[in-house]
Chains A and B, each alone.
Chain A
């Protein structure tokens, strides 16, 4: 999850530290030219040029055209569904992910290691497989759907299905973000709090929770980002009705199928900007997590 782990911060990379350390290393180790060349070549063909093509195509609409397109009720509806469901699902993942991480780190029970390994299932299971499985499970005649049907709750083929699918894909992000921090927590503070007469709830809310909050927020942000872009698992369980349960990625696919390239590019660019913003938030949070873990 973490990049540039042992680096003190961005300032040093570009400032004096770079000069001081780079100078000795650069002369000894070979291969900077070749490895940087390969990296930039592959990134250009696969990331840079395609991104430029999309942003360029979106730009052909002009500012007025962009605003007109994004203000249509279908586009607004899709963003409302995607943002709303991704936020709710990430919130659910945060609550239960924290609970699962806690239980895995702080308690012992049979099959704990199996449960630990199972957490990564949504990472490993292809999204289309997750999609048909969840859809079947929550269909009115499915194992879980038939339980909910008498109460008038329909999950598959409604917007609730979108929420369920996004919770599924988001869960591991929270668990894997919180778990190592929880593992690293020093016992002293909790023991001190205990000695000073704090109850369990107080210890959790005053000592533990503040310490894990950055990692929990980072996990939430990662689950949210993933949920916003998720496509495969959602399209099977959602009714995909425009304005009601149509998510943004599906809207992009629909635009593309109608050969509206500029429209698809515009919505895609907005999604890209959103991802970049969330990515920056995540990186800042992870830096906060690292500095508190090592400091």
Chain B
């Protein structure tokens, strides 16, 4: 640590001008590519004054989009937590044939295009899809309806929690859990009293990231939603619907809500990383 800071000072002195130029270029790039788009969202949202902004938000279509977004995100959250805990438990605590293949598959939703994800769901659950006749016979509608949007959202957010928990579990080791079992605890006792408390901050971190993506997902959901205004519009789809209808203020008003969610997520993420997951401190010590 001491040496690192000494070196920093040394290098900084050595190339003061170069550093200033590098910092300037880096910040300029960040302002142009990150900050200005963000400011644009809020500037455009308030282009019609506060009253225009409020009117856009309390519009019945917008309110129903907000409501729908919350429902979809809540369902995705429950599935993601259960799946994330199950997947990380079997993948981090056990070794079995095919484990590595499962780990790779777990990454797939991150690397495949959201549109391809939506397409796959349409081809399976849609009317002409493989399960289409069976679903129709049982009067179940998935594509162009709420369940499809939920499944699409779950697809794109599935890896977040497991990917957070697997390294954490492996780092923590299984000693305490093994001790609990050896001392006679039941599986669920061990799970609730040891596993969950040890994982809680990592779990919260994963929930945070997956929720941000769930509420903002566009590509996959737009393919399976059918875009029936007020019926199957989430906020992020509403942004496009309003924008395409030349309601720019309305579109940016909804966008500003999503941007605020993104900012809250970034702040909470930073706090979690620094306070509870000890990431930056650990990195600084090892630097």
A binds B: yes
Q: At the interface, yes or no: A124 with Cβ under 8 Å from chain B?
A: yes
Residue B41 CB within 8 A of the other chain: yes
Contact of A144 among B36, B103, B167 (CB under 8 A): B36
Interface of A is mostly: helix
CB distance from A268 to the nearest CB of B (A): 5
The answer to whether B77 has its CB under 8 Å from any CB of chain A is: no
Of A18, A200, A279, which one neighbours B111 at CB under 8 angstroms?
A279
Q: Given that A3-B106, A54-B120, A187-B3 are known contacts, is A271 also in contact with B112, CB under 8 Å in the complex?
A: yes
Q: How far is the CA of A133 from the CA of B287 in the complex (A)?
A: 38
B151 contacts A46, C-beta separation under 8 Å: yes
| B259–A3 CB distance below 8 A | no
* Mask: chain B, 51-78; 1 = CB below 8 Å from A; 0 = not: 0000000000000000000000000000
The yes or no answer to A17 lying at the interface (CB within 8 A) is: yes
8 Å CB interface, B159-184 against A? 163, 166-167, 170-171, 174, 177-178, 181-182
B25 touches A (CB below 8 Å)? yes
Q: What chain B residues lie within 8 Å of A109 (beta carbons)?
A: 23, 27
- Give per-residue flags for A42-61: 1 if the beta carbon is below 8 A from chain B beta carbons, else 0: 11011111111110110000
Residues of B contacting A28 in the complex (Cβ-Cβ under 8 angstroms):
178, 181-182
B121's nearest neighbour on chain A, judged by CB, is A50
**A253-B115 in contact (CB<8A):** yes
Given contacts A46-B155, A99-B25, A129-B255, contact A184 B217 (CB under 8 A): no
Partner of B283 from A128, A183, A231 at Cβ < 8 Å? A183
Contact flags (1/0) for A1-29 with B, using CB distance below 8 Å?
Answer: 01111110010011001100110011011
B113 near A229: Cβ-Cβ < 8 Å? yes
A residues less than 8 Å from B120 (CB atoms): 50-51, 53-54, 268
Contacts of B8 in A (CB 8 A): 106, 108
| Distance in Å: Cβ of B159 to nearest Cβ of chain A | 9
B50 interfacial contact with A, CB 8 Å: no
Q: Is residue B11 within 8 Å, beta carbon to beta carbon, of the partner chain?
A: yes
- Cα A26 to Cα B266 in complex, Å, equals 39
Partner of A53 from the list B129, B158, B177, B255 (CB cut-off 8 Å) is B129
Q: Which residues of A contact B113 (CB under 8 A)?
A: 228-231, 248-249, 252, 271, 275
Please, which residue of chain B has its CB at the minimum distance from the CB of A95? B29
Q: Tell me if A244 counts as interface (CB < 8 A to partner B).
A: no
Asked whether B283 lies within 8 Å of A180 as measured between CB atoms, the reply is: yes
A203 to B94, CA, bound (A): 44
How far apart sit A133 and B209, CA to CA, in the bound complex (Å)? 22
Residue B276 is within 8 A (CB to CB) of chain A in the complex: no
Residues of A within 8 A of B27 (CB): 103, 109, 115
Known: A107-B22, A136-B40, A229-B112. A29 touches B93 (CB 8 A): yes
Residues of B193-250 contacting chain A, CB below 8 A: 209, 212, 215-219, 222-223, 235-237, 239-240, 243, 248
* Contact flag A184-B286 (CB < 8 Å), given A5-B171, A132-B255, A168-B37: yes
Question: Nearest chain-A residue to B18 (Cβ)?
Answer: A200
Cβ contact within 8 Å between B35 and A31: no
- Closest chain B residue, CB of each to CB of A259: B128
Give the chain A neighbours of B174 by CB distance below 8 A. 25, 29
Given the interface contacts A56-B130, A129-B216, does A39 sit within 8 Å of B102 by beta carbon? yes
Question: Which of A229-281 touch B at CB < 8 Å?
Answer: 229-232, 236, 248-250, 252-253, 256, 259, 261, 264-265, 268, 271-272, 275-276, 278-280
Decide: A47 near B40, CB < 8 A? Known: A42-B83, A118-B30.
no
Cα-based distance from A137 to B166 in the complex (angstroms): 40
19 A–B pairs (Cβ distance < 8 Å), ordered by A:
A28-B181, A35-B85, A45-B151, A46-B151, A51-B120, A53-B129, A54-B116, A54-B120, A105-B287, A108-B12, A126-B262, A128-B237, A144-B32, A171-B34, A232-B114, A253-B222, A261-B128, A276-B108, A280-B104
The 8 closest A-B pairs by CB, nearest first: A229-B113, A126-B216, A50-B120, A30-B187, A232-B218, A249-B115, A38-B86, A124-B262
Residues in chain B within 8 A of chain A (CB atoms): 3-4, 7-8, 11-12, 14-15, 18-19, 22-23, 25-27, 29-30, 32-38, 40-41, 44, 79, 82-83, 85-87, 89-91, 93-97, 99-100, 102-109, 111-117, 119-125, 128-130, 151, 154-155, 158, 163, 166-167, 170-171, 174, 177-178, 181-182, 187, 190-191, 209, 212, 215-219, 222-223, 235-237, 239-240, 243, 248, 251-252, 255, 258-259, 262-263, 265-267, 269-270, 283-284, 286-287
